[in-house]
Amino acid sequence: MNGRERIALAMQNKEPDRVPVMCQLALGHYFLNTDIPAREIWFTSEGFAEALVTLQRRYQFDGILINLPGRPEGLLDEVASIEPVAEGEWLTWRNGERTIVPHDDNLHHYLADGGELPRFDFMAMGVDDLDRLDTFT
């Protein structure tokens, strides 16, 4: 029985030959265990999909758990420069904002003035502030 058949039976509440196995791997695992540049995994749907499929096949999982949505097409076209550094890469975007993309961890994005993105403070805002959610990251 292959993974597709195994998952299909389990989803039909029928008994497969064994329990289907899938795993939501940490992003750092994709970065460290594929040859795909971290920026490609972060900023392109194709890079992320390639990482998912590569590790699904390597570890022989029955399926893939997709833990991040797709990316806007051509997003990396907005990068003005890429600077390799010891901890990863600095991407400078055309609008002047910068992103550090570590080799093994989540990226961190900075505004053009070096400041951090505004964050929603759930403790300071109430129900009346929900219409402002789209202004935060």
Which pTM does this prediction carry?
Answer: 0.79
What digits encode the pLDDT tens for the residues 81-115? Answer: 999 999 999 999 999 999 999 999 999 999 999 98
Phi, psi for residue 64 in degrees, rounded to 5: -125, 135
Rounded mean pLDDT, 71-79:
94
User: What is the pLDDT, as a whole number, of residue 54?
Assistant: 97
Residue, of 40 and 128, whose pLDDT is higher: 40
- Whole-angstrom Cα Rg for the chain: 19
User: What is the pLDDT, as a whole number, of residue 7?
Assistant: 96
Q: Do residues 125 and 133 touch, judged by C-beta distance below 8 A?
A: no
Residue 124 has pLDDT above 90, yes or no: no
Q: Considering only 30-34, 46-50, 75-79, 127-131, which range has the smallest mean pLDDT?
A: 127-131
User: What is the pLDDT, as a whole number, of residue 96?
Assistant: 98
Q: Do residues 65 and 79 touch, judged by C-beta distance below 8 A?
A: no
Residue 130 has pLDDT above 80, yes or no: no
Residue 137 has pLDDT above 70, yes or no: no
